[in-house]
């Protein structure tokens, strides 16, 4: 939480990102990253 606050990230933003990623495998996520 301290790091999030230092970076200006809210818990809601983290929760939204986790919900967005739910059901996605790590390999698929890595494959879809911008290069």
Whole-angstrom CA distances from 25 to 9, 16, 30 are 24, 17, 9
State pTM to two decimals: 0.60
- Residues 5-32 have pLDDT tens digits of 999 999 999 999 999 889 889 898 888 8
CB 21 within 8 Å of CB 29: yes
Please give the full DSSP string across 1-35, using - where no structure is assigned: -HHHHHHT--HHHHHHHHHHHTT--HHHHHHHS--
The answer to whether residue 35 scores a pLDDT higher than 80 is: no
> Distance between CA atoms of 31 and 8, rounded to whole angstroms?
27
User: What residues contact residue 29 under an 8 Å CB cut-off, 6+ apart?
Assistant: 21
């Amino acid at each position: 939480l301290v790091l999030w606050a230092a970076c200006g990230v809210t818990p809601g933003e983290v929760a939204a990102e986790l919900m967005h990623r739910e059901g996605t495998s790590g390999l698929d996520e890595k494959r879809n990253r911008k290069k």
